[in-house]
Structure formats: structure tokens, C-alpha cells
Chain A
Amino acid sequence: MTKLGQWLWGLALLGSAWAALALGPLGPRVPPPCRQVLLPLPVYLLVAFGCYSLATVGYRLATFNDCEEAAAELQEHIGAARADLRRRGLQF
């Protein structure tokens, strides 16, 4: 089974478990505060995942280090390539 298939299968299982508990016949047997937590649970998980994504993006942005040696080496390569092409007659 492909990864997509696995994800969809897992989502279908969790979704049907949630639906059975929250919307289905077992509904009234769940204690009221737990029911109030259970109903918005998919939206909550989505928001939590969004917050985690945003935090990860922000953290990686803040801790991404400059690679000064690689930048200098790249500029050197660019200069060498420019000189080579100019020698072969390409106009810049």
C-alpha cells in the first residue's frame, strides 16, 4: 500500500472512531464535559498541527546559519565562469 493509502486509511479509522463516539449511537453515554471536548476535536487537531508547522518554520528561519565559506567559493566560481565565457567571446 502506498504512503498516501496508509495516511488515508489511518485518517478514515480515526475519523470513524470520532464519528461513532461524537455523532453516533454512543453519544449520550459519554459524560457531558468529555462530550464537549470530543466534538471540536478534529478542528483542534488541525489548529494544533498548524501551530506546530508555523513554529517549525519560524524556528528554522531564525536558526538558519549563513555559510560564508560556501558563499565566497560560489562568488569565486562565478568570477571564473564569467572570465572563461568572456574569453570564448560571449558578450556580457
Chain B
Amino acid sequence: MATATDQVVGFGLVAFSLVLFVYYTIWIIILPFIDSDHGIHQYFLPREYAVIIPVVAGLLLLLFIGECYLCSSNWRFLN
């Protein structure tokens, strides 16, 4: 058995990615087929954000990874 912390973190990641996937799927794929006066649209941002937010998040992730790589103390040895 994995430690309790590992299990909490692991299943937390699973739950988080499931929620994210369901929300994003409804946002992108299901909402266009629902009439614009239905109440469900109030829970979702305008559709432009469905593209902008992942792109910005992806860029931030790449920047973060690059910064960790460039600023690591072993860089001179790895270079």
C-alpha cells in the first residue's frame, strides 16, 4: 500500500483532472448545441476564454520548466 499522503495526492489529482475534463468538455463540445437562453450558460465564461486560458497556462508552464532548467545550479555541468 502506498503511504496515506501518496494516496490522498494521487486520488486528488485524479479527481481534479476528471472535474477539469468534464467542465472543459461541456464548455467546448456541448454548449454550442444548447440554446443561448438556457440557464446553464451562466456557469461558463465566454468561449474565447476556452482557448485563451489553456494557451496562456501552457506558455506559463513552458516558461516555468525553462526557468527551472536554466537557473538550476547544475547548469554549468549539464551545458
Contacts and interface: CB of A to CB of B under 8 A. Distances in A.
Interface residues of A, number: 26
Contact of B10 (A46, A51, A59): A59
Interface of B: 1-2, 6-7, 9-14, 16-18, 20-21, 24-25, 28-29, 32-33, 47, 50-51, 54-55, 58
A48 B29 CA distance: 12
Contacts of B6: 61-62, 64
B59 to A, nearest CB: 13
A37 to B, nearest CB: 5
A43 B17 contact: no
A38 to B, nearest CB: 10
A16 B67 CA distance: 33
A28 B54 CA distance: 27
Nearest to B50: A40
Contacts of B55: 43
Contacts, number: 79
Nearest to A38: B32
A62 B11 CA distance: 6
B9 A61 contact: yes
Contact of A61 (B13, B20, B25, B58): B13
A44 interface: yes
Contacts of A44: 24-25, 28-29
B54 A47 contact: yes
Contact of B18 (A36, A55, A62, A65): A55
